[in-house]
Structures are given as structure tokens and as C-alpha cells.
Amino acid sequence: MSQMTLPVKRSWGETQRRDAWWKTPVFVFLMLSAFLVYANIRVFEGDNYYSGHSTAEANRATNYLTPFYSPLMFEVESRAATPSGHAWLSSGRPGWLPAWLSPAALILIFPAGFRFTCYYYRGAYYKAFWQDPPSCAVGEPRNEYRGEHRWPLLIQNIHRYFMYCAVVFLFILALDAWHGLHFRKPDGSWRWGIGVGSIVLLLNVVFLSGYTLGCHSFRHLVGGHRNAMSEQAFKHKLWKCSTCLNEKHMAWAWTSLIWVAFSDVYVRLCATGTWTDFHIVF
């Protein structure tokens, strides 16, 4: 019988696994890289974040704001029509904000911080980007385990605070989806309606809610600090709902990430006039 000494020392990439273990890290690397590149392009574009176009035939305007620029902090001179009076801070670019800095850069700190510190994504990008390790039972390019109890990775503990922000963003995006159900008539009045963009923005809230409300920190928020859950029927129910979402946390993470990017693409292409939104107004 062969003998093994512990801990097992493997060279980088060495493993006895026979499955295609490298597929997941490659997928994660490609997907996250593509998202990061796209998000950065959109952040610094600083335009085409609102689709308020009306067509002569349709005789009404859509009211879609991309999640990348939500909440609308201020209105800018833009090629695309911008909503009037909807900005949270001011009607024009505030003087304290450098001209090169897009509002999306300030907004995306919160959802990006939430994802970056997510327990699932940490495991995924540690493997895909840092090879730490490349996958389970596969040799890594370093000999010591530093963990997350020392700087700089100690910062990952901030996750629960980003979770509070992410919950607030759910309400903000739900408000945008609500606005997406309103269409402006030429006389300035608003009518109920539903368009492809409305559905895109509604689904964005659904997927982001599935991801956020299944967060480990959210589960702890609603179910932690209790000795006997059975005595707190409402909290127990909340915790069970969150646990149910948490069991599919990885699926919610990817679905919501892809959909938030698609929502932005959709609104951008409508804003530039490349796509025409199909909708009905009641």
C-alpha cells in the first residue's frame, strides 16, 4: 500500500482529477472579464443611459433608465433625451464633480462592492483569476495559505454593509421598473403601458432580488442571533425563504449579472435609436 504524507504538496496545476476541472474557472474568467470591460466602457461613456424617445408613429415616449445609471443623480447634455425633474441631486452636473467622472462610477461602487465581496464570487474568482487554487485538489502556484483574516483580504468582511446598500438599490430599481410602465404622450401627460423594455427592467429587479435576498449576510440578518427560531414564526419564515434562494445562489448570481448587463444594452440601444421598443399603451 502506498503512503501519503500530509499536507499534500502539488506543483501548480498538478492533480489526480480526471474530470474537466478547468472548465468552470475558464468560464468564470471569461464572463467576469467581459462584464468588467463592458461595465467600464459604459461607465466612461457617460451617455445613452435613458431612453425617452418617441416615434412619430407611436406618438408616445418610453421611460427607461438603465440600472448602471440608477438612481439618476443629475441630468446632462446628452444625445439621448433625458427625463426632466427626475434627478436626485440637481438638474445639471454639480460643480464639485470632475468633468471626466461619470455618475455611474459613483453609483456602481455599491453593486460592484457587493458582488466583489460576495462569498460565492470570492470562491469563483480566487480560482479563476488568482489560481488560489485553480480548483479543488489542484496544485496552486504558492506554498502558504494566507486566508482572509489578514490584510488586504480582511476587507472582504465589509460584505454585510454592501448588502444593506444592495437592499436599498432593489427599491430604487423597482421604482425605475415602475417608471418603465409609464409612457409620455406629446401633451406631457403619462399613460400606463407595457413594453419589452418594461419587462426587461422588471425581470432585472426579480433576478437581483433573488440574488440579494439569498445572500449569506441577508440570511444572517433575518435568522441570526436567535436561540430558538421556532418561537419567531415570521422571522423563521423569512429565514426559510432566504435559505431557499441561497441554495441557488450561484444561479441567481450569474442570471442577475447577465441580465443587468442586458438591461443596460437594451436601454442603450433604444436610447441611441438602434432598437425600437415594442410596447402597448392602455
Q: Which grid cell sits at 259?
A: 441580465
Query: Which one of the spans 62-70, 133-141, 214-222, 268-276 is the region binding ligand FES (CB under 6 A)?
Result: 214-222
Would you give the binding string for ligand FES spanning residues 235-254, x where CB under 6 A is met?
Answer: --------------x-----
Taking the least distance from each CB to ligand FES, the nearer of 136 and 158 is 158
Which listed residue (21, 29, 119, 190) binds ligand FES by CB under 6 A?
119
Question: Least separation, in Å, of the C-beta of 235 and ligand FES?
Answer: 19
Taking the least distance from each CB to ligand FES, the nearer of 21 and 119 is 119
Which listed residue (80, 108, 215, 260) binds ligand FES by CB under 6 A?
215
- Could you tell me how many residues of this chain bind ligand FES (CB under 6 A)? 9
Asked if 13 and 230 count as a contact pair (C-beta separation under 8 A), the reply is: no
The strand pairing partners of 51, in sequence order, are: 64
Query: Which one of the spans 21-29, 33-41, 118-126, 188-196 is the region binding ligand FES (CB under 6 A)?
Result: 118-126
Which listed residue (10, 86, 216, 220) binds ligand FES by CB under 6 A?
216
Asked if 30 and 232 count as a contact pair (C-beta separation under 8 A), the reply is: no
Handedness of CA 83, 87, 92, 98 (dihedral sign): negative
- Residues making contact with ligand FES (CB under 6 A): 118-120, 159, 163, 215-217, 249
